[in-house]
Each structure stands twice: as structure tokens, then as C-alpha cells.
Structure 1
Amino acid sequence: MAPIWMLQLATGAKSFLDNPWIGSRRLNQRGLHVARVRLAAALSAWRRRRLAAMVRPEWRAAFDRDGFVAIPDIIPPAHFAALREAILGYEGPAREMRQGDAITRRMAIDPAMLRAIPQLQYLLERKDILALFHYVASYRITPLHYVQTIVSKTGGNEVDPQETLHADSFHSSLKAWLFLNPVAVEEGPFTYVAGSHRFTPERLAWERARSVADPRAIDRLSARGSPRVGASELAAMKLPPASALAVDANTLVVADTVGFHARGPSLRPGERVELWSYARRNPFLPWLGGDPSSLPGIAERRVGLVWRVRDGLARQIGQPWQPVGQRTPIDKR
């Protein structure tokens, strides 16, 4: 496996458990992990400089400052109600995953859904939104798009791991939420540590310290490359406390999830419905485009393909997303 482990150093591979080179205390004491972080951040910044001119200045300024941007009334209010009704009433194949006391349901925005809801395709092809997605992802890449429903407080004593502040990886990636319903502070809102997307000297020191820790002695999600962070560590990095984004319906939030973020705790049972988009690419590529999976005809079919591949490899790599038949986003079954 040594040649494979070595090649993975030039990719987004992040697990300190699965790759003994990435998790090597000796190599990380000599700066391996921090070197990967610094190079990925430098290339991301370089790509964003080349994409910046296409982004609305106020959106770019907010993102550069905070690591996320929240845009109310992203759809003209006169059109939003009809789009929301069409999405909430659409029935299609769905998958669900339970984490702690929360259930997440996803429906792929695939050719069938786009044919049934043509205004959805128009939204996903809006040039100003695409330019923002590309800037945050630092690539001209088409994200994976889903209709996502999160049902909180479904019973049980396990903690939802998404409620703990964390970074998704050591490099930039895009996540976006277009909320179809308002989300109050007590209803599990998106939460972000403003400015934590920047690799300051303090953040790099934190990255180095965690890279030399024994991955078998920390929580599994951190050891797998999605590090959890506590309040004292934020203070040591000179970062503010996390802020919860209570938003109205028709608000688009776009974030770089290399910054520390979480799903805020839900204080009561509830349901959150959103359009959810995600994009992550090899952080060490110097070019902006060239992603074959973003081509029309392929991009809108990727989610189904990914699910089928994971189904076939479930014994080897697991498959947390289980099919639950034909559902609507607000189906109570």
C-alpha cells in the first residue's frame, strides 16, 4: 500500500487513521501536514483571485471577511412561493441517514426532478449564484444538489455529531443551503465561526498540534480528518465564538467548510427543509475547470450514480444512506 499512501498525499485524502503517512507523527513533526495545509490554502487563494471578477462585490466581501455569505430573498419573493410549493409537493426516491437524534432525508435533484420543476433548473443555472459557488469552491465545478430534510429530536440519547463545531477537511470546500422554511435559533440553525476559514499563524499552530497527536487517542471523526474544536481552542486561535444564523425562508447561505461550523442544537422537535449543495475537489490542482463530472448530462446524474456505487460496495466501505422509497420532502412516514 505504500505507493498508494504516497500518491494520496497529492489529493484531498485526510484520514490520520487510514493512511499511516498522513497520520505519521514523525512526518508531521517535520511539517508534512502543515505543508499540505499551506499549499492547499495558497492554491485556493490563487484560484479565487482568478474567479473574483465574476462575483458580486458585496457577496465577495462578506465571504472574504467571514468565510460564509447569507443572502436573503435570493429568489424574487413573487416567484419563491410557487417554487417552494413545487419542491415540497414533489415525490421521488429518497434516502435517509440517522445521526444521533436527527434523521436526514435527501432527494437527488436529478433529471426527473428538473423536468417536473423547470424553475428549479433556472435557479441552479443563475450566473450570479454559479459565480459565487465557483468562488467559494475555488473551482469552476458543478456541485451535487439535493433537496434535504432534517428532522430533529427524533428520540434516543445519542448526540448528533453535526452539532459539534468542526472543519470538514484541511482544505476549502463548498456547502450551500437555500432554506425553504424559516429557521429559528432554537431549531438547529447553521452555525459558523466567522473568520475561521483563514489559515492564520494560530490556526496553523493548531493544525500542527493535532497532526502530531495519536489518532487512536482522539474522537474518530477528528482522526478521520474532520477535526472537532472546543471553545478554549477557538480562543487560542483568536477566533470569536460561533454565531447561529437564524434566517427567514428564501435565504441562501454559502460557506467554506474548512472553517469551523456546526448544526446548532435543536431545543425542540422540528423539521428543516432546504436545497443543499456540496462540492469538494482535489485541492492541489492548479487549474480552474476541467472537471468531467460537471458536464451537462453527467452532472445531474451523479448523485444516483454515487448512491449505486456505494450500494455495491456497502460491505467494503459502508452505506449510511438507506433507500426509503418514494417520498416528498415533508413526508411524515
Structure 2
Amino acid sequence: MNQIPKIGFFFWPDTPQMVLRMGELAEEHGYDLVGVADSPGQCMDSWVAATLLSTAAPSVPLSVCVSNFVSRHWTTSGAAAASLAMVHKPGFIFGVGAGHSAVRNFGMQGSTLDNLAHDLPAVRKLMHGEAVPTGSGDAVLSWARERARVFFAASHERSLRLGGATADGLFVNYGLHADDIAASTRQVELGRGDDPRRTDIWQVSALDCTEDGASARAAIGKICAFAAGYVIGKRDPANRGVPAEYVEPMRELVAQYSTRPSQADSDLVERLGLTDYLSKRFAICGDPGECLAQVQAAADAGAKSIMFSVGRASDPVRVIDLFGRHVLPALRASGAAHAAV
């Protein structure tokens, strides 16, 4: 293993009690980042949940991952992000994307890249205390004393390049294979060009870790279908790193999956013969030993930071606790031993 990757997680905040418990576990086990999803059709308001999470994980950097500029205007979101950056001293990452479940579940369309090419730099300028023209006036956050880092969620070539050009970092959902990581990172670097600033990249992956491993593998199809729909979208699967034998099944999956992950999605993935392929590309799953080996493989493939999605795991709270008690210590011990050689 080349290095110990940073490990974070995000989840759909179902209840205040769940949010607080997830924050406690992030703090107890020393995760590197903890975040909440913004999908109001499925869970609590992300900003309310993030504020609760801050109280339970006072030393862990925090994120909303990810919001959008369709259901929330960039000025309003910028003010919320700056507020949380003032509240949460370890740091706050404001993650934003074109809009997936958060907009589709309410019958809206996501942002275009042209929209985002304006809104991303605009919200970053707000974070730096700059005045941003709005047409009839200026937006400015004169009261903000701390700045949030702005991350862009991306998986397509143009969006990866846009993130490299305009964001502080990216949540990249393209897969954990070496070819996937290399291909997506190359697009980010093309977007950044000669800009010397650091651009952090967190690879997004589903996580389901259980004692027996079987229940994790049985549940992983839900979020794999969601990830596949996001990564492929309306594009040709053949141009998205999908092997030829899976191209037609992937087309059918993208046409039928739901942005509200359910057992029906898992059943669909299984019926199409995609469970093994999708789980290996988009997920870490199994018992703690299997999860450890898969994370180590992802690190060897080039993943420096991994952001786990656990919102639709078999038992999100249990998964984060089990991974934190068994996999994180073993991962860090393995990395430390490797560095000492």
C-alpha cells in the first residue's frame, strides 16, 4: 500500500438521533471527514443536520455532500456554508453538484455546466469575502469570518475539468479501479492546467461492512444502481469505462433505476448480472477483512482519499461503527508498518 488514504463518510440524515450518533462515531473512531447528503425528498434538511452533526463531532472536518444550485440559490447556500465554517472550527467543505436525487425527486432539472461555470466561481468568491455582481446589485458576505472550501461533485469529463478549473476540491464518483482513478484524475488535472493551487480529490464509494459479509453484498445493489445512474447518465456506457459485455445491461439499468434507492434497484442489478461488476467498481463491501483488503487495493490503485456513501447500507450506523472499530485501525497499522520498511 503506497500510503494510508484519508477515510470519510456521508449519509442520508434520517432522524436527529441518527445524525448525532453518526457524529459520535466519526469522533470516536477518528474519521477524517463526515458529511450529510442534501436530498430533501429522502431525508432531513442538510443544513439542519450538518449543524447537529457539528455538535457531535467537534474535532472532525464536516461537509454537505452534495447540495446544488437549483433547489437552493448559490447566494443562500454560500451564506449557509460561511455560517457553518464559523461554527465548525475543524473546517467545513461545501460540496455542490449539478443535482441528482435532490432535484429529480421533485421533478426539476439539474444545473447545466454553463450555469455551474458561473455559480461555482461565484460562490468561491463569496467565501473569500469578494463582492459578486448579480445583475441588479452585488452579493457579499461582509459578516463572514471563516471560509468554507468549495468542492464539486463530478464524474463526467467536462464536469471533472470544470471542477479542476474552479473548485477547491472534488468528490469524484467514477470508480475505484486504477484505470477509473487515472482517467478521472487526468481530467481534473487538465482543468487545473498550470494553476499551482492544491485540488483535493476524494473518491466516492459505497460502503457496506457487516460481520458475515453476506448481508452487505445483498444490500449493495441499491446504492450501486444509484451510482451507475449518476456516472453513466445519458452517456454511452461504452465511453464510461464499462466493459463490452456489460454495456447493454447498463443501458437497461440506467433506464429503470430509481433516485430513491430501494430493494427493487438491488433486484434489478442482480437480474441484469451487474452485481459483481458494479460492487467492485463502485463499492467496498463484505466483512471487515474483505473491506480492509478492498480499501488497500483502492489505495494501491491511486485513491488518496475515500468518501464512503453509507446512506443506503444494510445498517448505516452499524456499518460505520464496525468499519471504525476493525478496519480503520488495521488500515492505519498496515500503512504505518509499510512506511517503516
Q: TM-score, normalised by structure 1?
A: 0.23
Q: Which structure's relative contact order is higher, taking Cα pairs within 8 Å and 6+ residues apart?
A: 1
Q: Hey, which of these two has a bigger chunk of helix by percent?
A: 2
